[in-house]
C-alpha cells in the first residue's frame, strides 16, 4: 500500500456514503413538480455534480420506491424511440419528502456545528512554519 493511500480514499468514501443516504429523497424532490422518466432524473442528478450517479443505482432505487408506494409509474409514448416509463410521487411519497425536508435542516446544522472549528481557532489546520 502506498503511503497515504487509505487517507486519499476517505473523502471519496464519505461522499459515497452521504450520497447513498440522501439520494432517495433527492429523487423524490425531483419528482415533486411532476412526472419524470429515468434518464431525465439521471440528467438532473448529473447537473448537480455531487449527486451524479449511474443507471445501475437509480433504476433499482426507483423500483424500491415503487414497491414502497412512494412513486407510481405510467408508460408514455416518446417522440423519439420506444415508450418511456414515467415516475410520479404518490401521497405517501409527498409525505416522505415532507418529513425528510423537515428533518434535514436540523441534521445539516448539527453536522455543520460539529465540523466547525472551536471559537478562536484558525479555519485552516496548517501551522505557520517558523
Answering whether pTM is above 0.85, one says: no
Q: Cα dist. 54→23, 30, 39, 59, 113 in Å?
A: 12, 16, 10, 9, 32
Total number of residues shown for the chain: 130
Q: Nine-digit cell at 89?
A: 410521487
pLDDT at 122 over 80: no
Share of the chain above pLDDT 90, in %: 67
Over residues 45-59, the mean pLDDT reads 93
Which class for 2: exposed (0-12), middle (13-18), buried (19 or more C-beta within 10 A)?
A: exposed
Instruction: Please give the pLDDT value at position 126.
Output: 57
Instruction: Please give the pLDDT value at position 5.
Output: 53
pLDDT at 1 over 50: no
Amino acid at each position: 500500500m502506498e503511503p497515504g493511500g487509505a487517507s486519499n480514499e476517505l473523502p471519496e468514501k464519505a461522499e459515497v456514503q452521504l450520497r447513498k443516504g440522501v439520494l432517495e429523497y433527492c429523487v423524490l424532490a425531483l419528482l415533486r413538480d411532476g412526472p419524470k422518466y429515468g434518464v431525465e432524473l439521471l440528467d438532473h442528478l448529473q447537473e448537480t455534480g455531487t449527486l451524479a450517479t449511474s443507471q445501475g443505482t437509480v433504476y433499482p432505487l426507483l423500483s424500491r420506491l415503487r414497491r414502497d408506494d412512494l412513486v407510481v409509474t405510467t408508460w408514455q409514448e416518446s417522440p423519439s424511440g420506444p415508450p418511456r416509463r414515467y415516475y410520479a410521487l404518490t401521497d405517501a411519497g409527498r409525505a416522505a419528502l415532507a418529513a425528510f425536508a423537515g428533518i434535514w435542516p436540523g441534521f445539516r446544522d448539527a453536522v455543520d456545528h460539529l465540523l466547525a472549528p472551536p471559537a478562536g481557532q484558525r479555519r485552516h489546520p496548517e501551522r505557520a512554519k517558523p
